[in-house]
Amino acid sequence: MSLRSRQVHLDFHTSEKIENIGEKFNKEQFQAALKKGHVNSITLFSKCHHGWSYHPTEANEMHPHLSFDLLGAQIEAAHEIGVKTPVYLSAGLDEKTAHRHPEWLVRNADESTTWAKSFAEPGYHKLCMASPYLEVLMRQIEEVCRNYDADGIFLDIAGVQPCYCQNCIAEREALGMDAYDDEAVIEHAESIYRRYAEAARAAVDKYKPGLPLFHNGGHIRQGRRDLAHYNTHLELESLPTGGWGYDHFPFSARYCNGLGMEYLGMTGKFHSSWGEFGGFKHPNALRYEVSLAAANGAKSSVGDQLAPCGEMDMVTYELIGTAYAELEKKEPWLDGAEQIADIAVVSPEACRGTLNTSQSTQVDETGSGVSRIMLEGKYLFDVVDLEAELDGYKVAVLPDVVRIDEEFEKKLKAFCRNGGKLLATGRSGLKADKDEFCFDLGAEWIGKNPYRPDYFRPEAKIAGMGETGYVMYGEGERISCTGTELGRREDPYFNRAREHFCSHLHTPDSGKYGGPGMTEGDDGIYIAWSIFSDYGTSGSLADKQIVMFALDRLLGGEKTVVTTLPAQGVVTFTEQPDRYICHLLYASPVKRGSGVEIIEDIIPICDTFVSVKTDKRISRAYLAPQNEELPFEYRNGRTEVRLSKFECHQMIVFDKDISGGF
């Protein structure tokens, strides 16, 4: 299977209260929109959240105000111009069925429903896959695969869902479980999802063996490869303005890169999020989001929503075409490119030991903080789980919450023996069952630091930091030093409390030595604060400077890409058989309204220096897709170029010298 690179996800959630459904659908107009948008795949609707089908059906009911086979007409029109057509069915939401069978709904422990809390408010209600609804859904999937030339199946609102409906209660009791025990509820929910996913695969394979299949739950769970592999590929739903923000996609993509599956980044044309009519983001935002996906090895999908009349909005496809026309020209330097990374970031989500079952749209504070520092520091990184192989990485980062079990300890110790280095922060690096470090990080753990906030004073020379105490808002740990002390902790006079406080915010630095704050041992460096979650919430410049000092020290000058690209810029580095490609991106989101991140202006970036260290000597450097030659110098084992100006996204291509060696 090879995913198409320029996709549209065409929502069509249409109330039964609206008449004349699809009356303005026109094959030529539909095709003209796809051509204007440079679209090569479009996901079309069989069944929407309201529960209606958009084609003749025996397994469901066609929308009461649709008079023809809309799905069939759309597939025929798309295929006629070489556009693929995955087909969408709403799995977890079916409002028609919810009203007819409220006993099939997912229930919370207090009997309330999920999504809409009751039928007294507008909104959808989620259906339970332990109910007879599962068989209803499977018949609908089979019907689509039997009757239509679908190029894939997309099942929405699907995931592990704890449930207290009477079907689930009865099933847990029959299995000898405590029906209300939290662990039993999760264990049962996992088995229900397995049953659903296996049934869906069987329903598809009955008529279309091996057809691409994806279950969408709003976020790819890090550390849950078993869930990921129920899919043939991954679609990373990540609408920056819809609640995901611009931190979510890069962190999610860098995890999916290691799963051995094709993946695409799904954004939207909307100003806000799904379900919006008449809202448009700025073309520059879509250009950047599509380019960001490409730079991270992902294909692209842009969400749109078809009007009830069935007429495609040409303004939307002009907007999408602005981004996809650029992407189409770049594809020769994207196809089959492998991502290169120096650093493995161990996913905090994969290590927490809990399953978030909500439609998650945001990276947690620790993940957000580590992602931002990696991106702003221009480090090449992957996000890994405990199953990942660490060969090929130079540094492994254990952010804040990564306690170490026996198996992972063996893997990390082998990594260190082979020359790898560790950066651990907060409670990371401690044994899972004992408060002592697994590795030589130059520290022994004493206990939780009683002062918060407190202060860090560098002992080593750290770029941008002087000889003073820098406030540390994150939770701190008390340690003793068994190696090299790179920075010290200084205590405040006291914690801020009712009976004693000082000034407006927190108590000043007393200058009193509170123990080591950053240490180094044979295996790496330890920072005695939850510095990544701190950066994720406070954005303190000192946090980033401390982490970058530690990473640069551990990399020892072996950073694959060095660049003067400003902090908001993003850099990735990929390899094709005969060349390397350095991606530079720059856009600066601003906050509008109630914290919505917007990209409008694209600022040209001038005089950008880039230095790359490669396994092969370079014979030529040029800009793609412009095919414009770029002068380069080879100095101290690195290839150096200087880019006079670029905007939004630029690829610098380094052709390998086929004569070999240096």
Residue, of 331 and 452, whose pLDDT is higher: 331
pLDDT category at 661 given cuts 50, 70, 90 is low
User: Of 19, 125, 23, nearest to 63 (Cα)?
Assistant: 19
pLDDT category at 660 given cuts 50, 70, 90 is low
Could you give the count of Cα atoms lying within 13 Å of 29 in the half-sphere of its Cβ? Answer: 12
The pLDDT score that the predictor gives to residue 5 is 96
pTM for this model (two decimals): 0.94
**pLDDT, tens only, 516-538:** 999 999 999 999 999 999 999 99
**pLDDT, tens only, 567-607:** 999 999 999 999 999 999 999 888 888 778 889 999 999 99
The pLDDT score that the predictor gives to residue 498 is 84
Instruction: Please report where in the chains the tokens 């002009």 appear, as a residue.
Output: 318
Q: Using DSSP, state whether 343 is helix, strand or coil.
A: strand
The pLDDT score that the predictor gives to residue 254 is 95
Helices (H), 153-302: 166-174, 182-205, 225-228, 245-256, 283-295
The pLDDT score that the predictor gives to residue 506 is 87
DSSP letter, residue 423: E
**pLDDT, tens only, 386-401:** 999 999 999 999 999 9
**pLDDT, tens only, 539-551:** 999 999 999 999 9
The whole-angstrom separation of Cα 160 and Cα 392 is 34
- Strands 524-527 and 509-521 come out as antiparallel
User: Of 571, 589, 568, nearest to 580 (Cα)?
Assistant: 571
The whole-angstrom separation of Cα 607 and Cα 293 is 25
**pLDDT, tens only, 31-80:** 999 999 999 999 999 999 999 999 999 999 999 999 999 999 999 999 99
Mean of the pLDDT values across residues 342-370? 78
Taking the CA atoms of the chain, what radius of gyration do you get in angstroms? 27
The pLDDT score that the predictor gives to residue 245 is 86
The pLDDT score that the predictor gives to residue 636 is 87
Q: Is the peptide bond before 625 cis (omega within 30 degrees of 0)?
A: yes
The whole-angstrom separation of Cα 215 and Cα 88 is 10
Q: Which residues contact 339 (CB under 8 A, 6 or more apart)?
A: 257, 296, 297, 380, 382, 572, 573, 574
Decide if pLDDT at 356 tops 60: no
Q: Which residues contact 450 (CB under 8 A, 6 or more apart)?
A: 495
The whole-angstrom separation of Cα 527 and Cα 515 is 12
User: How many C-beta atoms surround the C-beta of residue 335 within 10 A?
Assistant: 11
Decide if pLDDT at 357 tops 70: no
Biggest alpha carbon–alpha carbon distance for the chain: 79
**pLDDT, tens only, 151-207:** 999 999 999 999 999 999 999 999 999 999 999 999 999 999 999 999 999 999 999
pLDDT category at 662 given cuts 50, 70, 90 is low
**pLDDT, tens only, 599-636:** 999 999 999 999 999 988 999 999 999 999 999 999 98
Instruction: Please report where in the chains the tokens 């915010």 appear, as a residue.
Output: 505
Decide if pLDDT at 363 tops 80: no
The token pair at 445 is: 């753990």
Mean of the pLDDT values across residues 458-476? 93
Decide if pLDDT at 354 tops 70: no
The pLDDT score that the predictor gives to residue 594 is 78
Q: Lowest mean pLDDT of 168-177, 242-251, 308-317, name the range.
A: 242-251
Are the C-beta atoms of residues 297 and 261 closer than 8 Å to each other? no
Mean pLDDT of the chain: 94
User: Of 160, 215, 209, nearest to 189 (Cα)?
Assistant: 160
Backbone φ and ψ of 161, nearest 5°: -130, 100
